A and B are shown apart, each in its own frame.
Chain A
Amino acid sequence: MPGPPPLPFAALPVFWLIGSQLVVAALVLAAGRRRPRSAVIVSAGALAAAFGWLAAQVGTITSGGVVVEHLTWVPHLGVSLDLRLDGLALIMGMVVTGAGALITLYSGAYFKWGPPTARFVGYLTAFAASMLGIVVSDNLYGLFVFWELTTITSYLLIGFEDEKGSARAAALQALLVTGVGGLAMLGGLVLLAQQAGTSSLAALLADPPGGTVTTVALLLVLAGAFTKSAQVPFHFWLPGAMAAPTPASAYLHSATMVKAGVFLLARISPAFHTIPFWTPLVVGIGLTTMILGAWRALRQHDLKLLLAYGTVSQLGLLTALFGMGTPAAVYAGVAMLLAHALFKAPLFLVVGAIDKQTHCRDIRLLDGLARRMPGALAVALAAGLSMAGVLPLFGFVAKEAAFEALLARSPWLLALVAASSALTVAYTARALWGAFGRKPVSAQADLVGAKAGGTPLFLLLPAALPAALGLAFGLLPGLAAPLLEATVGTAGAGALKLWPGLKPALGVSAATLLAGLLLFARRDAVERLQRAGHRRLLAKWAPTGEGIYRRALAGLNRSADRVTAVVQSGSLPVYLGIILLTVILLPGSALVLGTALPRVDFGGHWAQFLTGGVVAAAALAILRVRRRMAAVVLLGAVGYGMAGLFIVYGAPDLALTQLLIETLGIVIFALVLYRLPTHFSEARWRLGRALRLGVSAAVGLFVTGAALAVGTASRPPPVSAYFNENALSAGGGRNVVNVILTDFRALDTLGEITVVATAAIGIAGLVTGAVRSRRKRQEP
């Protein structure tokens, strides 16, 4: 069979874009422990190089080109690494690599260049590689693989401080929620690929299938996107994930991973938004999430949690925009996505810097940091004003585009988003005031902040760059516009303007700003209202997503306990009996019903009667002996007899293996028998004895019958003929058995030796465990 031509790996830049990050991650994890600085430099350098390569592609992409690469992986299942760099992939890729490089630098300072640095940076780089994979995957299954890789790497990052139980629980929660969503998505993707007859995303979107199956498939895919992007009712894992170190929160939970879900929506929504259920469902979920997140952000005292709920809200808005699927909405959505990465990451990074300098994130306790950390204040102001959508910043420009897209659809949508914008202004003010403002002196609270020193350069610079970029894109929207247009494919789908003119959208902006500031001014009243509402209504009546998650997990554990208690009785005869009865009932009945009694041919070498006689005699003798060791030796005799039969039939390899196995087997039996009584115990239960006899006899009959039937019933040309003919030509060996093991069936053999290795580990574990428990019993 001629294979595909050798792949010139060097000529696959997009492949290496991902591959190099994985290599760097492995390198840093393996060798970076003692060299945290080098680890940070290598990782940040690799990500910056990837960013540079992507930036060099801007010209190609904005002029309408795409970079496409194909790598076959499992061709029989349609699984391949098809990589496709288009406008949307480019902009996401630049966010992933750019933010990745900066946050890697930041992590070095965050961990004070200590021992955990390299492990963290390594995970982060591996995560960046997975995220890049999602962004450029054109194959549905490839997309899923990278999707799950981000789930796994984010699990490692959230649970990074693994000595803390809370971090482990949060990591597990994020893993389970996004993992379950990912599995649902896999189901959806398989259905979609079946419906469309292709596993290529581009081909699927060019000619989208319809019908009920597609609807089900899309609902499953949406489950994946909603869990990943923390949409109601799955939003609870995102605030929980704030147990991660702050650089991870800044990277995963604001700039990248949570964007995977909305990114997928942006990809598929233009093709599917005409299906009736799509827009109401996606926009509805998005808007609910948007309002809920912003509302709950107003109640937080922990700066990180406040920002996390803000992110939930922004993700809701992005979901709603992408869910509409029209070019104008998608265009505004991508602008919002970029703006969000540019303002939310710096805010997280500033919070991390504050946390490092004061060991506090509680806005009730932080006081007077404006004077102590002026650099951080400047960055936070630039980013915060962008988040609130204030005039010369990119957040404003993007929000205006969103308002216009919404206004074109329905004024009601605009009203909802405007309300959420007002809440956004309020929580932004709360965050900025909370972090940097002066608090009224209170007797109980021990205010911190007065002792804080300046901010280290690497805790500030990575935050300052994106914030500055947010300002630059705000002042000169023309800088970002061509890239955004490339994502939608049509020029002028929307227009980014700094000064939109006196249009309704501007009025809405002004109104939301005023309303938000008013909400902030009356923050105590708002907080009281929220608390009362939460206590009276929500806590009692509404089932929260988190509550359902907890109950489902507890229920699963309970039912697993019950099932195990029933199924795993711990009695060896019962296990063996069940296995053997299954053999008798299933293949046994098929044998009895399905095959005619074959003609038995006893011809052959005389020596087979001799060896057969030895085997039979030894087997009968086993039934009579009462000493365990004698039984083992007789079992060995059975085995040696079998080896003799192999020799008679001309299979020296099998005979050799059998002899060696029998020999070693007796030794190992002896090791085990050393711990057991010398004699078998007498059977106490008469019926049990009869039952065992019956089962044994039936199994014996079945095996005999099956051996005869299999030997005579093979009608299609046996595979052994192929093996015999091709062993030398294809496998390059004259020993057919060996060629089968190491070439034709090499994957099976690999699986088998993995089982052997696992068994060896299991034995070690059992013995060490037994020894330990015995020691414990001896020395109380």
Chain B
Amino acid sequence: MKHRPSLIAQTGLRIVFHTLVVLSVYLLAAGHNAPGGGFIGGLVVGAALTLVWAVDGPQRLRATLPLPTFTVIGLGLLAAAAAGTIAWAQGRPFFEAVAFGLDLPLFGKVKLTSVFLFDAGVYLVVMGMVLGILVNLGEEVEA
């Protein structure tokens, strides 16, 4: 099966892809207070990458990736585990939530929590898994 890109799909992808990525990050960031979270965010960005795979093909998908699949997954696990140790370093139980106030130049006061780091880890692992499936299982569909 030779890959034939469809113009309509490609144009549609250009519009949808970045929106989906931004949406996924929003879901990740907002997840602690509103519907969303790392798992859902990771699935949304996974869906965006699936679209890239379906429309532009696996070659393009691999070119889009900044990091190898397993690096993404590994970083995610590392971030999630590290989030747990933040409380530890302050002498409190593993995985207790720790919040930091941060004064950023443009955004004003921002509250960062160890929970966000944990959720970001979940996000990366889920995204990495979708990627792994696409890269590995999707390879031969094309070949």
Contacts and interface: CB of A to CB of B under 8 A. Distances in A.
Interface stretch (B8-16, B59-67, B76-84): B76-84
A660 B138 contact: no
6 contacts: A4-B92, A6-B92, A657-B39, A660-B46, A660-B47, A732-B115
A602 B75 CA distance: 47
B70 interface: yes
A3 B94 CA distance: 11
A6 B93 CA distance: 10
A202 to B, nearest CB: 24
Nearest to B34: A735
B133 A671 contact: yes
Interface in A72-92: none
Contacts of A664: 43, 46-47, 50, 130
Interface in A753-773: 753-754, 756-757, 759-761, 763-764, 767-768, 771
Interface in A278-336: none
Interface string A639-675: 0000000000000110011001101100110011011
B35 A652 contact: yes
B113 interface: yes
A379 B128 CA distance: 59
B125 to A, nearest CB: 4
Contacts, number: 148
B80 A767 contact: no
A67 interface: no
Contacts of B32: 732-735, 738-739, 742
Given A664-B46, A674-B141, A760 B97 contact: no
B126 A756 contact: yes
A3 B136 contact: no
A660 B118 contact: no
A746 interface: yes
Interface of B: 31-40, 43-44, 46-47, 50, 54, 69-70, 73-74, 76-77, 80-81, 83-84, 90-97, 99, 113, 115, 118-119, 121-122, 125-126, 128-130, 132-134, 136-141
Contacts of B47: 660, 663-664
Contacts of B80: 749-750, 753
Contacts of B77: 753-754, 757
Given A732-B97, A764-B136, 10 more contacts: A6-B92, A663-B47, A732-B99, A733-B32, A734-B33, A738-B37, A741-B122, A742-B38, A749-B118, A763-B132
A96 to B, nearest CB: 27
A734 B33 CA distance: 4
Contacts of A753: 76-77, 80, 121-122, 125-126
Contact of B36 (A661, A738, A756, A757): A738
B85 to A, nearest CB: 11
A2 to B, nearest CB: 9
Interface of A: 3-7, 652-653, 656-657, 660-661, 663-664, 667-668, 671-672, 674-675, 730-735, 737-739, 741-743, 746-747, 749-750, 753-754, 756-757, 759-761, 763-764, 767-768, 771
Prevailing SS type, chain B contact patch: helix
A760 B73 contact: yes
Contacts of A768: 136
Contacts of A675: 140
Given A3-B96, A747-B94, A753-B125, A742 B43 contact: no
B37 A742 contact: yes
Contacts of B37: 653, 735, 737-738, 741-742
A484 to B, nearest CB: 38
B138 A657 contact: no
Q: Which of A657, A735, A753 has the most CB of B within 10 A?
A: A753
B134 to A, nearest CB: 8
A632 B122 CA distance: 27
Nearest to A757: B73
Given A3-B91, A667-B50, A753-B80, A660 B40 contact: yes
Q: Lowest 5 A-B CB distances belong to which pairs?
A: A6-B91, A733-B32, A660-B43, A760-B132, A3-B92
A771 B137 CA distance: 10
A108 B10 CA distance: 59
A661 B43 contact: yes
Contacts of A657: 39-40, 43
A552 B129 CA distance: 41
Q: Which of B70, B128, B129 has the most CB of A within 10 A?
A: B129
